[in-house]
Chains A and B, each alone.
Chain A
């Protein structure tokens, strides 16, 4: 192995940019956190990387891989800070992106509307052309109408344009021709076509995704170029990968063309980190709970793989792309507790945010939050967060929670416990949606909490779901940055259409897969992925001919038609509890993911002074139920060596999170320094 061999994960969030660096030569781990720079996120990456290298003492030229997760695209969408964007559609269909699915977001709210499209109607232009349902040309592309559109694009000063024609997923010729004409006439303009962004059935979702992509292109391109140029100078030997929503890395050039693929970049990295942690701990089936200040993301991992979903709203707009199947719920440390008009207590989705924040922050907040409830119960120490750099005002928390307690006629502690039970119930609903509702029994899974607040709330969720084991990763607060280190490079290929699952179509199906393999080979070559690092995943989306929702079946190789049908029936049985053996089945999409494995980091090093028989730092009363406090030992996580075994109750503090061990629970520390909790009341 080389003298220095650094792998760096960088996770850019709205507030902080996190670094997790690992030297494969020495096994050294280095962590760093710096403020994000919203104007050009690349600035914080470059300066943070310099600081990290300086403080750790390695040359930047020793960085071999840099993997990057980013919320820049998502934030730009939420804050509407994208380009002046136009849309080009098939003639007579410019209103499609505004009509959407013609539904209201809230059935009973007379004043709630879906947001208006990012391209106003006067920037939506039509071209005479039409492709039919078999991919045939119904109306040839009219060149004169293309020229007219180019003039309009000039006149309206568009910075980006999305081209989205009907049935382009079957025949992209017209989109490609229009793109070529616009690119030749207006070289400065960024162009997205729907057949490149996501060549799949359903015109509104495809058009919306393409429009979002175009909207993001100019700013994202600037960001990527800055990053690429700076790194080429600082770390010329480094391979740079940008994390996609589906949980694989893409090149900087791909990211420049397809910024929308980063919409779930950060949460997907969290799932990657969870998989890595699970693998080190010898577990395969995990439910993740990533809880921060305002929301919680949950995901299901089975056999060390995440499920993918394809439809999601981002900033109020539908996006269709492969994305890690993450369910988000408005439950975080800052979530407010309040009385609804029927007298029931609710928690969230409204959050106190960073300002004023929970009452205990002493920044003017007076309403009770989840964090205040944890402070009241002694679960969070008054000595504070972030390793003691921020103290908490216990009395302010008591006053805030006391307002609810008074109305209920409960003690403050019982009320605080109730607030935590409700927030757990909200997260449990989110977990059920990705487990039970997909045909998986959560009792067969391990719960992995992370994010700043996850480990505080794991027990409540595990109990409600019947989960017996909880794994708290080595560094729950920066698992996303860590996850980036273990992500593979990946590119997805899809063929969307409709093919009856029948023997006579077997060869067509085989040809489809073969042609996608050819594309995958091309990608491996273009990305210089060595043959031994190559692997692939194949998945077939199927449904009954009369249904509209597909079930996805993962396979190693394309099986026989009979076998595919059998697999579909089994999946239908699992998802819906029945199947109809005689009804015709259609294949709706074939998906191939080409992977390029990257070198993997090992386990983190054991800290100096750690021991398998650590002593508590102190004791304090902690309320595990609403009835009475228990004098509870408080440990420093840094003092844990592999082999540590602790019986609850205990509180375990570390720089970026606090974990709870309930009475009767037992915690063990494994070789990768993860804490594995076996729940006491689990049968």
Chain B
């Protein structure tokens, strides 16, 4: 369907800013509404969700401020699927589309359920409101739908191709029944679905209000202007990077099934205002669930460009249109069905480390040491002895953020592609029959350097009065996060089972570990790499490292041999 021509005179920058402000307000409002009304811990407490508005060509126009970077490309992936499956004239007011599949519907893993509702002003379709939320379970072999050890996507949960859950405002109950039957704890999942549906409706209502004030023509022009201006702004930022080809490579620890030390290679070529990200030569897709769909690779590139070149740029299609990717189809960064993908976020973190590593030579003042490079995951499940009901506790832990050119890295924080909150200890122990025995920083875990890397986190958890199952997914447990410009590596992470008879080091991606009431699981997340030579670290900072107890005297004497440490 061809578009009617746009109005002749371009809108002025003041009008665009005012109308854009109204749209930003809508996506922020729907983000908060979804967070507050949802049932999944992932959404309500950890904010693993995003909201956006796309235009009717499927271009991302505006995304909520707190939206997750990895969701940016799934939004447009869903749009592409809708626009290729349906003719615009077959889309009606009151329809709601749902999908999650990474191989046929633009998603990035199955627990992220993508919703979209068309926006009509009068009879004219002007775009879609979208939201994505990570449900605590989508079925499959293991509770939480995120466990390692599976080799096909069919084992990971319910695959939802693009379906129309509402037709002209009417719920297709049989589809909802299908969704709920295939998820654990369906009552909770129903709550999440309704929260997403309500967020769609809220967005539609708000955009209509804006439409009544400004009219279709102005709104469509604003959509165009936002994308065009963002793209021009990003191109200008790219042009500021010296021309050349910048290479970097790194390895993933373990796919949780068969393969370890999986290589990923990148060559970035900057010429003028274009940047081409060539991932060829990276490992073929693997049996385990750390494969990355192309949309998630694109999201990682978009994140890297924004974080390194222009952190304040608005998130919209203009950035995605600057992401030029070259990949080998069927590789770990562009996987194909039936590759399992549940833990793709670990690999996304590595892709970003690699992007930063490659850019470091070109823009050293903006690069940072490798961060904890993981979404260190802990899933505890079992039957609550207090109630006899099944429970599932899922969490990802932060770790070190790499050293920077003007300051140390940050200790114990979520990095790059993720920014989900921890669950309060008082919430964990109130909701689940678990005790958090300790929670703090891992000693000696940030890499040495002029500016040291941030340290990792340690959390110790013990089941109360019952046996539970532990599943985990770690990264940078074998391959330490590297430092740059002479900075040292951070300490790798690990999972340990502590019992009466001592401790057992668990796998990088442990699956189905039984934990008794006298045992505890120790989760230690990786630290991060330092920035610059350790010999250049200033003595006052070294003294803080010692006095704070974050670093032992032995560690400091080993890594900063020239320094004199007084008490």
The answer to whether A and B interact is yes
Nearest-neighbor residue (CB-CB) of B14 within chain A: A418
Interface centre among A94, A428, A429, A548 (most CB of B within 10 A): A548
Known: A102-B412, A110-B368, A432-B25. A344 touches B16 (CB 8 A): yes
Residue B404 at the A interface, CB < 8 A?
yes
Residue A346 at the B interface, CB < 8 A?
yes
Which of A92, A98, A99, A583 lies in contact with B191, CB distance below 8 A? A583
Which of B20, B430, B438 lies in contact with A133, CB distance below 8 A? B430
What's the nearest-Cβ distance from chain A to residue B484, in Å? 13
Are the C-beta atoms of B419 and A104 separated by less than 8 Å? yes
Which of A121, A341, A576 lies in contact with B548, CB distance below 8 A? A121
Are the C-beta atoms of A410 and B12 separated by less than 8 Å? yes
What's the nearest-Cβ distance from chain B to residue A679, in Å? 16
Residue B427 at the A interface, CB < 8 A?
yes
> How far is B37's CA from A93's CA once the two chains are assembled, in angstroms?
31
Are the C-beta atoms of B438 and A92 separated by less than 8 Å? yes
Are the C-beta atoms of B307 and A344 separated by less than 8 Å? no
Are the C-beta atoms of A346 and B404 separated by less than 8 Å? no
**In the assembled complex, which residues on chain A have CB atoms less than 8 Å from the CB atom of B457?**
99, 102
Q: How large is the interface on A (under 10, 10 to 19, 20 to 34, 35 or more residues)?
A: 35 or more
Nearest-neighbor residue (CB-CB) of A424 within chain B: B18
Are the C-beta atoms of B33 and A576 separated by less than 8 Å? yes
Nearest-neighbor residue (CB-CB) of A576 within chain B: B37
Residue A129 at the B interface, CB < 8 A?
no
Residue A489 at the B interface, CB < 8 A?
no
**In the assembled complex, which residues on chain B have CB atoms less than 8 Å from the CB atom of A437?**
29, 32-33
Which of A94, A133, A339 lies in contact with B440, CB distance below 8 A? A94
**A-contact 0/1 string along B393-421, CB 8 Å cutoff:** 00001100100101100111111000111
Which residues of B, 528-548, contact A by the 8 Å Cβ criterion? 547-548
Residue B236 at the A interface, CB < 8 A?
yes
Residue A148 at the B interface, CB < 8 A?
no
Are the C-beta atoms of A111 and B407 separated by less than 8 Å? yes
**B-contact 0/1 string along A564-577, CB 8 Å cutoff:** 00000000100111
**B-contact 0/1 string along A37-77, CB 8 Å cutoff:** 00000000000000000000000000000000000000000
**In the assembled complex, which residues on chain A have CB atoms less than 8 Å from the CB atom of B194?**
578, 580
What's the nearest-Cβ distance from chain A to residue B567, in Å? 12
What's the nearest-Cβ distance from chain A to residue B185, in Å? 9
Are the C-beta atoms of B229 and A103 separated by less than 8 Å? no
Are the C-beta atoms of A548 and B45 separated by less than 8 Å? yes
Residue B17 at the A interface, CB < 8 A?
yes
Are the C-beta atoms of B426 and A341 separated by less than 8 Å? no
Residue B565 at the A interface, CB < 8 A?
no
Are the C-beta atoms of A343 and B13 separated by less than 8 Å? yes
Residue B311 at the A interface, CB < 8 A?
yes
Known: A99-B412, A576-B198. A544 touches B547 (CB 8 A): no
Residue B69 at the A interface, CB < 8 A?
yes
* Chain A-chain B contacts (Cβ-Cβ < 8 Å), number: 208
**Stretch in A183-191, A201-209, A604-612 touching the partner:** A201-209
Nearest-neighbor residue (CB-CB) of B65 within chain A: A107
Which of B17, B38, B311 lies in contact with A109, CB distance below 8 A? B311
> How far is B25's CA from A244's CA once the two chains are assembled, in angstroms?
30
Residue B215 at the A interface, CB < 8 A?
no
Nearest-neighbor residue (CB-CB) of B26 within chain A: A432
What's the nearest-Cβ distance from chain B to residue A8, in Å? 41
Nearest-neighbor residue (CB-CB) of A496 within chain B: B426
Which of A92, A104, A546, A580 lies in contact with B439, CB distance below 8 A? A92
> How far is B25's CA from A426's CA once the two chains are assembled, in angstroms?
10
Which of A101, A113, A132, A138 lies in contact with B421, CB distance below 8 A? A101
**B-contact 0/1 string along A286-324, CB 8 Å cutoff:** 000000000000000000000000000000000000000
Which residues of A, 136-168, contact B by the 8 Å Cβ criterion? 138, 166-167
Are the C-beta atoms of B414 and A103 separated by less than 8 Å? yes
Residue B518 at the A interface, CB < 8 A?
no
Residue A342 at the B interface, CB < 8 A?
yes
What's the nearest-Cβ distance from chain A to residue B491, in Å? 16
Which of A102, A133, A201, A421 lies in contact with B422, CB distance below 8 A? A102
Are the C-beta atoms of B397 and A122 separated by less than 8 Å? no
Residue A96 at the B interface, CB < 8 A?
yes
Are the C-beta atoms of B310 and A421 separated by less than 8 Å? no
What's the nearest-Cβ distance from chain B to residue A298, in Å? 13
Are the C-beta atoms of A547 and B38 separated by less than 8 Å? yes
Known: A546-B39, A546-B191. A344 touches B404 (CB 8 A): no
Which of A121, A433, A436, A548 lies in contact with B44, CB distance below 8 A? A548
**A-contact 0/1 string along B332-369, CB 8 Å cutoff:** 00000000000000000000000000000000001010
> How far is B229's CA from A340's CA once the two chains are assembled, in angstroms?
10
Chain B interfacial residues counted at CB < 8 A:
88
Interface centre among A133, A408, A583 (most CB of B within 10 A): A133
What's the nearest-Cβ distance from chain B to residue A197, in Å? 16
Which residues of B, 162-209, contact A by the 8 Å Cβ criterion? 187-188, 190-191, 194-195, 197-198, 201-202, 206
**B-contact 0/1 string along A353-379, CB 8 Å cutoff:** 000000000000000000000000000
What's the nearest-Cβ distance from chain A to residue B468, in Å? 16
Residue A345 at the B interface, CB < 8 A?
yes
Are the C-beta atoms of B440 and A93 separated by less than 8 Å? yes
Which of A107, A341, A426 lies in contact with B310, CB distance below 8 A? A341
> How far is B404's CA from A640's CA once the two chains are assembled, in angstroms?
62
Are the C-beta atoms of A429 and B25 separated by less than 8 Å? yes
**In the assembled complex, which residues on chain A have CB atoms less than 8 Å from the CB atom of B547?**
122
Residue A120 at the B interface, CB < 8 A?
yes
Are the C-beta atoms of A576 and B22 separated by less than 8 Å? no
Residue B274 at the A interface, CB < 8 A?
no
**In the assembled complex, which residues on chain A have CB atoms less than 8 Å from the CB atom of B66?**
107
Known: A102-B413, A133-B430. A203 touches B424 (CB 8 A): yes
**In the assembled complex, which residues on chain B have CB atoms less than 8 Å from the CB atom of A498?**
430
Residue B232 at the A interface, CB < 8 A?
yes
**In the assembled complex, which residues on chain A have CB atoms less than 8 Å from the CB atom of B439?**
92-93, 95-96, 99
**In the assembled complex, which residues on chain B have CB atoms less than 8 Å from the CB atom of A92?**
437-440, 460
**In the assembled complex, which residues on chain B have CB atoms less than 8 Å from the CB atom of A436?**
29, 206
> How far is B441's CA from A535's CA once the two chains are assembled, in angstroms?
49
Known: A92-B440, A95-B412, A498-B430. A108 touches B422 (CB 8 A): no
Which of A102, A204, A546 lies in contact with B188, CB distance below 8 A? A546
Known: A111-B404, A437-B33, A547-B37. A341 touches B236 (CB 8 A): yes
Are the C-beta atoms of B229 and A344 separated by less than 8 Å? yes
> How far is B310's CA from A580's CA once the two chains are assembled, in angstroms?
43
Nearest-neighbor residue (CB-CB) of B548 within chain A: A121
Nearest-neighbor residue (CB-CB) of B201 within chain A: A577
**In the assembled complex, which residues on chain B have CB atoms less than 8 Å from the CB atom of A167?**
426, 429
Residue B326 at the A interface, CB < 8 A?
no
Which of A107, A121, A343 lies in contact with B69, CB distance below 8 A? A107
What's the nearest-Cβ distance from chain A to residue B448, in Å? 19
What's the nearest-Cβ distance from chain A to residue B97, in Å? 19
Are the C-beta atoms of B424 and A108 separated by less than 8 Å? no
> How far is B13's CA from A346's CA once the two chains are assembled, in angstroms?
9
Nearest-neighbor residue (CB-CB) of B399 within chain A: A102
Are the C-beta atoms of A408 and B424 separated by less than 8 Å? no
**A-contact 0/1 string along B542-556, CB 8 Å cutoff:** 000001111000000
**In the assembled complex, which residues on chain B have CB atoms less than 8 Å from the CB atom of A106?**
311
Which 3 pairs from chain A and chain B are nearest by CB? Answer: A92-B438, A418-B14, A546-B39
Q: Could you list some 17 contacts between A and B, CB below 8 A? A: A96-B439, A102-B421, A104-B415, A108-B69, A108-B303, A110-B311, A110-B366, A121-B550, A132-B429, A132-B435, A341-B233, A342-B314, A408-B13, A408-B14, A421-B14, A437-B32, A546-B187
Q: Give B contacts to A, CB under 8 Å.
A: 12-14, 16-18, 20-22, 24-25, 28-29, 32-33, 35-39, 41, 44-45, 66, 68-69, 187-188, 190-191, 194-195, 197-198, 201-202, 206, 229-230, 232-233, 236-237, 303, 306-308, 310-314, 366, 368, 397-398, 401, 404, 406-407, 410-415, 419-422, 424-427, 429-430, 435, 437-441, 457, 460, 547-550
Given contacts A99-B411, A102-B413, A578-B197, 8 further A-B contacts (CB under 8 A): A102-B397, A109-B307, A202-B424, A419-B14, A425-B17, A433-B28, A547-B38, A576-B195
